[in-house]
A = this chain, B = another copy of it.
């Protein structure tokens, strides 16, 4: 496979993945964790695209508190490739700023791809095909997203309703009909049964001039402020001036602010073996199980008597279980978490509790 010319990748690396506590912490957010295989989530994300996009064209978008961590974590990445959002204002301002900054040094037909730093893809060859299809479609002037054919009625993901088939050379590409918020189970089951919906990955692809024109049309105030920021950065304005402009931008997501409003957006539909690993339960889903349905990961050891469908994470300690069904046990040097897997979403409540108690040591 030859690398794509004039394509730039922005990896969004702003999240923290609190539902993977006690493994995810402020000092080790989800994107730098090694949850499956040998590489961290963000290293894995970079590894996957390197056959297509050279490292110099890979940019990391993150917030000020993460710059040091990401820099240390990715020593091979040119320092200038880490772009800092002054503060979190949603994906529309973040991707708009990245596009505007790229446009200040690249031609308008350069292609920008955006991915998340903390997702798992178990079929990397299909993933590269999807990126190539997305790039090709983007070069035709469309805003493109990548949808994943759902393998189950997952209620933790948003969905995309597909429209007419546009082409089917590398992979099927459809008109993007509508974004759907995370559904309830009945709705998710209907989506999956219909065959008309994909999971929303939050991956996008467009030419710089296409996305900037869409901002100018649908979020003109944002577009204007983004232009002012790039102009201010060009004359090395003070960080506080940049911050003031940035904070004036209305919060918005790229889905709502742009993708749902434009005509002719497209979705590449594929089967990536994809997961956002949004919780311990979803990590369990993607990892290989033993004959009892147990997953033992992290490097430690699980000694099980009559235990089934459990996820045990430990680094260097022995975790022994007797008579457990569908439980999650996580051991990190200073903390242990135990819960049934159906409670995995509530880990964020635990983290909120620790925050409320100002237990910095565990955050």
Q: Which residues of A contact B (CB under 8 A)?
A: 22, 303, 305-306, 314, 317-324, 327, 329, 331, 334-340, 342-343, 346-347, 349-350, 353-354, 362
Shortest C-beta distance, A280 to chain B (Å), equals 10
CB pairs A–B below 8 angstroms (27 shown): A22-B318, A22-B320, A303-B353, A303-B354, A305-B353, A306-B343, A306-B346, A317-B334, A318-B334, A318-B335, A319-B338, A320-B336, A320-B337, A321-B337, A321-B339, A322-B337, A322-B338, A322-B343, A322-B346, A323-B340, A323-B342, A324-B339, A324-B340, A327-B338, A329-B338, A331-B331, A336-B336
Q: Please tell me how many copies of the chain the complex holds.
A: 2
Question: B323 and A346: CB pair below 8 A?
Answer: yes
Q: Which of B306, B324, B346 contacts A338 (CB 8 A)?
A: B324
Question: B347 and A322: CB pair below 8 A?
Answer: yes
Question: B347 and A335: CB pair below 8 A?
Answer: no
Shortest C-beta distance, A181 to chain B (Å), equals 25
Shortest C-beta distance, A113 to chain B (Å), equals 38
In the complex, what distance in Å separates the CA atom of A353 from the CA atom of B322?
Answer: 12
Q: For A354, list chain B residues within 8 Å (CB).
A: 303
The 7 closest A-B pairs by CB, nearest first: A322-B339, A323-B343, A318-B335, A322-B343, A319-B336, A320-B337, A321-B338
Q: For A339, list chain B residues within 8 Å (CB).
A: 321-324
Q: For A329, list chain B residues within 8 Å (CB).
A: 336, 338
Shortest C-beta distance, A316 to chain B (Å), equals 8
Question: B331 and A336: CB pair below 8 A?
Answer: yes
**Nearest-neighbor residue (CB-CB) of A347 within chain B:** B322
Q: For A306, list chain B residues within 8 Å (CB).
A: 343, 346
In the complex, what distance in Å separates the CA atom of A290 from the CA atom of B337?
Answer: 20
**Nearest-neighbor residue (CB-CB) of A330 within chain B:** B320
Q: For A335, list chain B residues within 8 Å (CB).
A: 317-320
**Most chain B beta-carbon contacts within 10 A, residue among A314, A338, A343, A353:** A338
With A319-B335, A323-B342 already in contact, 14 other A-B pairs whose C-beta atoms are closer than 8 Å: A303-B350, A306-B343, A306-B346, A318-B362, A319-B337, A319-B338, A320-B337, A322-B337, A322-B338, A322-B349, A323-B346, A324-B340, A331-B336, A336-B336
